[in-house]
Amino acid sequence: MLEKLNVFLQRYIAILTPLSLIIGVLFENILHHLLFLVVWLFAFMTFAGSLHMTFKDFAIFVKHPVIILTSIAFLHIVMPLWAYFLSSIIFDDHLLTIGFVLSVAVPTGVTSMIWITICKGNVPLGLSIVLIDTLLAPFIMPLLLFIVSGEKVELQLSSLMTSLTFMIVLPTLIGIAVNELSKGQIPQKISGILAPFSKLALFAVIMINSSAIAPYLKNVDIELVFVIGLVLVIAICGYIFTLLIGRYFLHDSSHITTFVFTGGMRNIALGVVIASTYFPAKVAMPVVFGMLFQQVLASVVSKIVGKPSE
């Protein structure tokens, strides 16, 4: 039963994600009161996603330090700068600029491992990038957001770092510890049970946080259209840049695949939580819309990434 539910949710995630956003907007008066649950839901998602990680994943850094450091630099330097540049040119709105930077400054997504596995990438390398990038998030994200926010938006750095630690670092370390101490037996028993609930938690996070930005989504105007358009453009650029870098500087096809998906996908749900919690509601707009395209683009790229370069 749970396995069938998980397969269904995975198969239709590209449809269920925007549907969750619509439900959140329609039922904003009810769901807005559930914002306190988001942090707990996200911590659960992080725990479930880290159950198959091990402390040995850190050891991969010794074998592939250049690829891992390049991935992290791409995620937290190249793409935030690109998002800042484009959003600053198109919009004369500092809140939207923060939102676009936040949407790409979040850690790489754990769901990238699904596509890395499907496309025969280097799974240990992918896990290492996800793990290291996730644990660095409480330090990298506050710094980036502080820089882009400037004096126009007050940002509680200590509170943000604490939240990131609670939502990402602690659940990740607990998940790894459970895996290590049980020698993989507990994750083997409970992963199938947790998988559908983790996806349901994701949809719940989208619905609840969408309720917070409902006023901006109910009135469709030219600005909203441009926001959605730029979100799509930046997401596409992420994949184009990683494909070009991978094809020209990496020689192993499995490494290219891993670099593309860890660089192209994001833990957007985390960005939505941070935007809704620490910034005015408008900041969350670019972040929320990032969820609409992520899985669809990953599916398209999966058809390309395996092809040899000309």
pLDDT digits (tens, 9 = 90+) for 271-284: 888 888 888 888 88
pLDDT at res. 157: 66
Non-local (6+) Cβ contacts of 253 within 8 A are: 120, 306, 308
- Could you list the residue range(s) of the whole structural domain that residue 260 is in? 16-304
In a domain, 9, yes or no: no
φ and ψ at 260, to 5 degrees? -65, -50
pLDDT at res. 63: 83
Residue 151 or residue 12, greater confidence:
12
Mean pLDDT value across the chain: 84
pLDDT at res. 153: 59
In a domain, 309, yes or no: no
In a domain, 8, yes or no: no
pLDDT at res. 309: 43
Total domains in the fold of the chain: 1
In a domain, 5, yes or no: no
Q: What is the Cα–Cα distance from 239 to 76, expressed in whole angstroms?
A: 15
pLDDT at res. 241: 95
Q: Sorting pLDDT into bands at 50, 70 and 90, what band is 36?
A: confident
Q: What is the Cα–Cα distance from 85 to 63, expressed in whole angstroms?
A: 34
* Position 99 pLDDT exceeds 60: yes
Q: Sorting pLDDT into bands at 50, 70 and 90, what band is 240?
A: very high
Q: What is the Cα–Cα distance from 173 to 168, expressed in whole angstroms?
A: 9
Query: Average pLDDT in the 10-17 region?
Result: 77
Non-local (6+) Cβ contacts of 245 within 8 A are: 70, 74, 259
pLDDT at res. 4: 86
Q: What is the Cα–Cα distance from 302 to 262, expressed in whole angstroms?
A: 13
| Furthest-apart CA atoms within the chain: distance in Å | 54
Query: Average pLDDT in the 79-100 region?
Result: 94
Angle between the N-to-C axes of helices 79-90 and 222-249, in degrees from 0 to 180, rounded to the nearest 10: 150
Query: Average pLDDT in the 121-142 region?
Result: 86
In a domain, 127, yes or no: yes
Please tell me the number of Cα atoms within 13 Å of 180 on its side-chain side. 12
Non-local (6+) Cβ contacts of 302 within 8 A are: 115, 118, 119
State pLDDT tens for residues 249-268.
Answer: 887 888 999 999 999 988 88
Rounded alpha-carbon distances, angstroms, from residue 225 to 14, 57, 230: 20, 41, 9
Residues 137, 107: contact at Cβ < 8 Å?
yes
In a domain, 11, yes or no: no
* Number of other residues whose CB lies within 10 A of the CB of residue 292: 19
Residue 99 or residue 49, greater confidence:
99
Non-local (6+) Cβ contacts of 308 within 8 A are: 253
Q: Is 192 left (phi over 0), alpha (psi -120 to 50) or beta?
A: alpha
* Number of other residues whose CB lies within 10 A of the CB of residue 47: 19
Residue 224: give its domain's CATH number. 1.20.1530.20
Q: What is the Cα–Cα distance from 54 to 178, expressed in whole angstroms?
A: 9
Q: Which of 45-54, 100-109, 136-145, 180-189 has the least mean pLDDT?
A: 45-54
